Structure 1
Amino acid sequence: MKIRVLGTAAGGGSPQWNCGCPECEEARATGRSRTQDGLAVSGDGSAWYLVNASPDLRAQLPATPELRPPAGTRDTPVRGVLLTSAELDHTLGLLGLREAADLDVYATAWVHEALTTAFPLRTVLSAYTRAHRHDVRDGEPIELAGGLRVTATVLGAKRPRYASGLAPGAAVCAYRFDAGGRAFVYAPGLATWSPEFEKAIGDADLVAVDGTFFTEDEMGPARPASGMGHLAVRDQLPLIHARPRTRFLFTHLNNTNPLLRPDAPELAEVTAAGAAVAADGQLLEL
């Protein structure tokens, strides 16, 4: 199995265009920018599936050798897109895929509903391409091209702001990918380390987990991380330390997260727990 990390920042990227926090100022000064979170997974190195479609996808795809079309063609190694949520930073990139002849989109029924009603992205896409809906259900494996098996685990019901009028449901999920006897779990939106999540990561070799905020109060007491559907990195570290056989990478870092700085003292805590921070463009092979 191959995993290409496309982006590792939360919504808005790093630096965020309207933010002058120390992390954003440091990113501007050094040029150490990060694009918005997403990745591509393949079971055989030929058929690739995007996991989330950020607004930065237009820049991420040409920068990724495995995802470029063969010379002289309008073909693509991308076979579909899996969405972990209906958040804008996970879905706006779908509009940039409108030139595709066909587009297979995998998500929970709740996410598909949000993208049909509250944010009619599917209606817009249908004017340009054939977007095929595939519902993923909690705990039910789906076989994909290239020998890839994917299983969704529902993590929570946190709704995007634009969909606050919809009834709560399976709004956020993680995906477990299995191929060739190896397993990878992707969970950029983890509100709690639930028994269901613990089961999903089970014997996984690699887990890319929610690194949005380093601490619960990073955005101030009025905006706790848990209130925004994210389990703080520091609160995950003891749980990660208890699983030394699994490799953990933090992704989906908010622009305020000190882990964005390579000299941050907080990185020592992450390393001590046996984890690391994912990097844009990183290639992982299992």
Structure 2
Amino acid sequence: MKIHVLGSAAGGGFPQWNCNCPHCAACRNDHPDYQPRTQSSIAVSANQTDWVLFNASPDILQQLKAFKTLQPARALRDTAIQAIFLMDAQIDHTTGLYMLREHRQPLPIWCHPLVRDDLVTGNPLFKVLSHYCGVDWHEVPLTPTGFDMATVPGLHFAALPLISNAPPYSPHRDQPQPGDNVGVTLTDTATGKTLFYAPGLGAMEPHVWQAMQSADCVLVDGTLWSDDEMIALGASAKTSRSMGHMPQSGPGGMLEWLDRLPAHTRKILIHINNTNPILNAQSPQRQELTRRGVEVCFDGMDIDL
């Protein structure tokens, strides 16, 4: 199984267009310790021919241009993307679907019914797409047995509900329901290797922890370093947890959980906010991650399992 990181940043990307925090300012001025990042998305394949796209960020066209494998050029109109899996209905994970409207067939989109509802009503993206290529919707069930995608052979999917937050336009905002946000375990059916992917994770639950412990690689929420990071910077009045993201540091933070994983587990953070000091390759926080054996995603990163 090959995982290609198309984008590794949280919403707004890095640097964020209107932000002059120390990290964005340094990156915008080409500081060597900072690397620009687009908004989070990955592509996964077992055969490196048929790929599933996880989330469609507003930066999707830039990301597709940078990863030429997704354009095999077998015909006048072509793509290697055989399915699109939406983890939630957030703008920074779905807006890129508009950029794919030239598809010759309805877009094959997999998501939970609650995500579909938000994209039909609160943010009627699916309705708009009906005037272009259309949507071929498939339900993502929250069952232990999981499911397969006929168009993406060699991979098995098992989705599970996460505690995070629904979008501002969702009726479930601040009262999330199972299915508003999901994580997923991907299994390569030939090798048995597994990836657990959860770019938005607000709290650890027993079923989530079990999935993480069983995975060969965890690719998980790295949004903010500390719970009060945005407040201390003056960028927001909200804590990390209230926005649906476990902070990395502090009691019960992501790092405490990652430390408890089996020694062989590969641990990688994705969906990194522009205020997070781990974006500085020389920061004490980044050095702390290195000491703990935790990697930081970057655009273009390849993970082979």
* TM bin (shorter chain): over 0.9
Q: Tell me the alpha carbon deviations over residues 69-101 of structure 1, each in whole angstroms, 9 at most, x when there is no partner.
A: 325531211001101110000000011111112
Q: How does 1:109-258 map to 2 (within 5 A)?
A: 109-139=113-143, 140-144=145-149, 145-156=152-163, 158-164=165-171, 168-169=176-177, 170-179=179-188, 180=190, 181-220=192-231, 222-234=237-249, 235-243=253-261, 244-258=263-277
TM-score when normalising by structure 2 = 0.90
Residues 205, 81 of structure 1: CA spacing in aligned structure 2 closer, same or farther, 3 A cutoff?
Answer: same
CA distance in structure 2 between the partners assigned to 1:66 and 1:174 by the alignment: 25
CA distance in structure 2 between the partners assigned to 1:147 and 1:187 by the alignment: 21
CA distance in structure 1 between the partners assigned to 2:172 and 2:290 by the alignment: 41
Query: C-alpha displacement at 1:168, in angstroms?
Result: 4.1
Query: C-alpha displacement at 1:111, in angstroms?
Result: 0.3
Please name the residue that 1:69 is paired with: 72
In structure 2, stretches of 5+ residues that fail to align are none
TM-score when normalising by structure 1 = 0.96
CA distance in structure 2 between the partners assigned to 1:157 and 1:252 by the alignment: 14
Contact 1:240/1:274 (8 A) holds in 2: no
Residues 157, 98 of structure 1: CA spacing in aligned structure 2 closer, same or farther, 3 A cutoff?
Answer: same
SS in 1 for 2:95: helix
CA distance in structure 2 between the partners assigned to 1:130 and 1:223 by the alignment: 37
CA distance in structure 2 between the partners assigned to 1:156 and 1:134 by the alignment: 22
Please name the residue that 1:20 is paired with: 20
Query: C-alpha displacement at 1:165, in angstroms?
Result: 6.3
CA distance in structure 1 between the partners assigned to 2:153 and 2:134 by the alignment: 22
SS in 1 for 2:289: helix
CA distance in structure 1 between the partners assigned to 2:8 and 2:71 by the alignment: 20
SS in 1 for 2:138: strand
Compute the RMSD of aligned alpha carbons: 1.5
SS in 2 for 1:162: coil
Query: C-alpha displacement at 1:52, in angstroms?
Result: 0.5
Q: Tell me the alpha carbon deviations over residues 202-249 of structure 1, each in whole angstroms, 9 at most, x when there is no partner.
A: 321111110000111101163110010000012111211121221111
Contact 2:6/2:41 (8 A) holds in 1: yes
Query: C-alpha displacement at 1:102, in angstroms?
Result: 2.8
SS in 1 for 2:122: coil
SS in 1 for 2:65: coil
Q: Give the number of equivalent residue pairs.
A: 286
CA distance in structure 2 between the partners assigned to 1:280 and 1:148 by the alignment: 23
Contact 1:238/1:273 (8 A) holds in 2: no
Amino-acid identity (%): 38
Contact 2:164/2:200 (8 A) holds in 1: no
Q: Which letter does structure 2 place at the counterpart of 1:11?
A: G
